[in-house]
Amino acid sequence: MPDQFGDKQHEATDHRRQQAREQGQVAKSQDLASASLLLAAVGILMVWGENVAQLMAGLMRTHLGEAPLRADRTALTTQWYEILMAVGGVMLPILGLLALVSVAVNVGQIGFLFLPDKLSADLNRLNPLQGIKRIFSLSNAARLGFGIFKIIIVAAIAAWAIWGEQDQILRLGSLEVGQIAVYIVKISLNTCFKIGVALLILAIIDYVFQHWKQEQDLRMTTQEVREEMKTLQGDPQVQARRRAVQRQLVLNRIGSSVPKSDVVVTNPTELAIAIRYDHETMDAPVVQAKGAGVVAQRIRRIALENNIPVIERKELARALYKQVEIGKPIPSGQYAAMAEVLRYVYQLKGKKLPGMAKAA
């Protein structure tokens, strides 16, 4: 039988997850961002690499071969400006796209998260003992093993990709220098793409593992759940006492207000509304008390003990319970129904119904 105070047998609550997030404890894989950047860079080079290479070659021919060498500052400044503008026009969109991929992958993992406290100095990070513990921790050992496994996978994929091109590699001696360069770039990009796909798969597996580990770390014991409930909602015993006091106050108010009523309208067992009408001081009947369930039973009992008529009017009781607060007059739309009830009560008492009968 698990120890209810020691075993983490409960799923983390939303509050627990939010606290962990505010402290920077989120499920994240650094390898996912790295693999995504590698694939994005290789894809960009496959699509635009030829244009970039032609641009660089053209700049080299223009500024190192065709253009005469000038030593004056103005010419050199102009030449450097032309080179920077040409290179920047090609490289800035590529670098911007890579930055966008990096941001998108990180935001996709953890969402938008700003933690200014992490920017402050933490002297514990300078503690050598804490550093040694982190180095030789089980988590770092697992990460080291995973890193070695990735190196093996990368080496195996690279060897497999190159081995498949061995016949073409052996024939490179018969090709021209330009053709050899193009082939080397092509096989390098293809190999990097295969490595990137493998690293992306491993990174996804790592992210799933990190998410699972995060959920396991955030699981709560029964005692932690109780403590959180006390923090968020207050001590259950205090809440129970508070509800008991509030219930007693309601019952005391009912005990003093119901005997002053003229009639109690019921639903017949679910609701009870005590009504008082004094034609000399009131323009309309006023709700003295109302309640449902146990409170309604209390109102009916007090009414019977004080010889106050209890009359069943389902629609009227529902309307008054929903629409009228205690101490407020009934709405004009209920005058006719209320006048009928009061007329019946006054007949029981051998009295005439003044004021209200005229209004009805």
pLDDT tens per residue across span 11-51: 887 778 887 777 777 878 888 888 888 889 888 888 887 77
Q: With bands split at pLDDT 50, 70 and 90, how would you rate the model's confidence at 268?
A: confident
CB 299 within 8 A of CB 291: yes
pLDDT tens per residue across span 70-88: 666 777 777 778 788 888 8
CB 288 within 8 A of CB 261: yes
pLDDT tens per residue across span 314-326: 889 999 989 988 8
Q: Which CATH superfamily is domain 239-359 in?
A: secretion proteins EscU (3.40.1690.10)
Helix (H) or strand (E) holding 253: helix 236-257
The per-residue pLDDT of the chain, averaged, comes to 79
Tell me what the mean pLDDT of segment 295-301 comes to.
Answer: 87
pLDDT tens per residue across span 186-240: 888 888 888 889 889 988 988 888 888 888 888 888 887 777 777 766 556 666 7
Neighbours of 143 (CB within 10 A): 14
Residue 6 has pLDDT above 70, yes or no: no
- What pTM did the predictor assign? 0.53
Q: Is the peptide bond before 268 cis (omega within 30 degrees of 0)?
A: yes
pLDDT at 358: 44
List 292's β-bridge partners, or say none.
Answer: 271
pLDDT at 146: 81
Q: Number of helices (H) and strands (E), helices first, in the chain?
A: 13, 4
Q: With bands split at pLDDT 50, 70 and 90, how would you rate the model's confidence at 1?
A: very low
Residue 122 has pLDDT above 70, yes or no: no
**Strands of 263-266's sheet in order across:** 286-292, 271-276, 263-266, 310-312
C-alpha distance from residue 351 to each of 275, 287, 358 (Å): 17, 21, 15
CB 228 within 8 A of CB 221: no
CATH 3.40.1690.10 range(s) for the chain read 239-359
pLDDT at 176: 81
